[in-house]
Structure 1
């Protein structure tokens, strides 16, 4: 459903299936991998997929929350010289992101799939937490 959402609202974004991802990234990059990788899925193999898709000297940002500890297989990573950033969402670039939205360079409107009044925030959390009704993001208003 999310892939269809991206195809509909962001047709310029390149998509592939997880099992094709590493080859896809290498094929569509100039330096043997991605300059920056955002790991947001938190799946069983997504951490490994993230660093494998990164080119040498790239940045891998881990936003995902995992159910179990991840390990760094250093012998397999030898020569990659990766920089890892972890800890969830980093608010450092919020001003730039808001500026890009204001300038119309990033359209986040389709991401807000639900709107709730502040008085109904418990219902909003229930829907978001349980991933009901095709929810992506919820806007809370007064």
Structure 2
């Protein structure tokens, strides 16, 4: 009789079920990881609202991709990894697509396929605990966004959105030597976390004249008779539709915009205005090369991840964990732990 485990899966819009499934077993080139910690991502919340993958898919969608754990089984062809090794996993490899069409890590065990074909499994350095290691995936997203930007020492930067990825962007900007960072969010609790991670100014657009305040800190002027701010780099991590049009309207000549947030609906862009300002717009998706680098950053203690984590729940309390993660006013990164 097959051994069973429980997983979290989406069956329809806002229909998440903790359900029994067979525990996975390895093929020759696979490993099975016993999950220790898995973080709740904004994409998990989005999949739940949408009832599954936005691009479609058959059957329930297993959730969870920001995880750490221990290799419990390794296939006969797996030579670079061993049973008992603590690891984190890049979930985006084509053979797996963990939490976005493949298996999900909100389960006691997860199958990781074809681990010898491409780098996907990273040993956790001895000095890192499972919780910190589980932050590698979202922080890799943040670092890739910073790498795709034009920000560097001396840059004046505004980060829109202080959710978990935006907070990671602030931390990575600071690590890269950027000292002038303004964080913008409508939640004061999130702005406090951004300040703790290195933002030297925080602004709540519901409580101030946002662009006047940015101009006061970064400098202001006019272009084509319209007011602009002297910000060098804007990084959009909020996903709010009005933000990009506002940035284009207020940016100086030659400013740069990096879009990290997922915008699920089309956003109107005044390309004539962007053209007249010779703005550059760059997008940043996932982490083609940053996963291992982030693990090294975490292992050497170069950033303090304490402000990133707001809650911890046991998997038995998954419904409460998920509901908490959906309340932006009180949560940052919510972690789910497994015994």
1:14 aligns with 2:212: no
Q: TM-score, structure 1 length as denominator?
A: 0.71
**RMSD across aligned C-alpha pairs, in angstroms?**
3.0
Please tell me whether the aligned partners of residues 59 and 82 of structure 1 are also in contact (alpha carbons under 8 angstroms): yes
Alignment gaps of 5+ in structure 1: none
Please tell me whether the aligned partners of residues 112 and 139 of structure 1 are also in contact (alpha carbons under 8 angstroms): yes
Please tell me whether the aligned partners of residues 117 and 141 of structure 1 are also in contact (alpha carbons under 8 angstroms): yes
Please tell me whether the aligned partners of residues 197 and 307 of structure 2 are also in contact (alpha carbons under 8 angstroms): no
Structure 1 counterpart SS, 2:203: coil
Name 1:73's counterpart in structure 2: 270
Please tell me whether the aligned partners of residues 118 and 140 of structure 1 are also in contact (alpha carbons under 8 angstroms): yes
Name 1:23's counterpart in structure 2: 215
Q: Highest Rg: 1 or 2?
A: 2
Structure with greater strand share of residues:
2
1:114 aligns with 2:306: no
Name 1:2's counterpart in structure 2: 190
| Aligned counterparts, 1:44-63, within 5 A | 44-51=241-248, 52-53=250-251, 56=254, 58-63=256-261
Q: TM-score, structure 2 length as denominator?
A: 0.34
Shift of 1:124: 0.8
Please tell me whether the aligned partners of residues 325 and 334 of structure 2 are also in contact (alpha carbons under 8 angstroms): yes
Q: Distance in 2 between matches of 1:44 and 1:57?
A: 20
Q: Distance in 1 between matches of 2:287 and 2:252?
A: 23
Would the alpha carbon gap of residues 122 and 74 (structure 1) be closer, same or farther in structure 2, given more than 3 Å must change? Answer: same
Please tell me whether the aligned partners of residues 231 and 255 of structure 2 are also in contact (alpha carbons under 8 angstroms): no
Alignment gaps of 5+ in structure 2: 1-188, 221-229
Would the alpha carbon gap of residues 61 and 25 (structure 1) be closer, same or farther in structure 2, given more than 3 Å must change? Answer: farther
Would the alpha carbon gap of residues 90 and 108 (structure 1) be closer, same or farther in structure 2, given more than 3 Å must change? Answer: same
Structure with greater helix share of residues:
1
Structure 1 counterpart SS, 2:202: coil
Please tell me whether the aligned partners of residues 257 and 279 of structure 2 are also in contact (alpha carbons under 8 angstroms): no
